[in-house]
Amino acid sequence: TEIDRLSAEIEKEGVFIGSYAINPMNGERMPIYVADYVLMTYGTGAIMGVPAHDIRDFAFAKRHGLAIPVVVAPPGWDGEDLEEAYLDEG
């Protein structure tokens, strides 16, 4: 259900489909996963992930050993791995 997908308490599941998308900004390959926590009522159909800045994406990335690039740095951040998603302004 939508409520289950929103829950931070339920483990986020997903499967790597064996394909990659190319980030047009830096040319890096990004693995494509099918996940069980996508919200059907949010967005336009293009799925994205921001694990450093979304609680559910962070949990999914940790579970699957994915990179967690920081886009908006916390004040005083020195480059160390985040312990949780950073949700505030940078």
| pLDDT at residue 2, rounded to an integer | 61
- What DSSP assignment string belongs to 17-79? EEEEEE-TTT--EEEEEEES---TTSSSS-----TTS-HHHHHHHHHHT-----SSPPTT--S
pLDDT at position 52 is 92
Q: Does pLDDT of 89 surpass 70?
A: yes
Secondary structure class of 16 (helix, strand, coil): strand
- pLDDT tens sequence across 28-83: 999 998 887 777 776 655 677 889 998 888 999 999 999 999 989 888 888 888 89
Distance CA 7, CA 60 (A): 12
The per-residue pLDDT for 54 is 87
- Residue 56, pLDDT score: 85
CB-based contact 50:70 (threshold 8 Å) = no
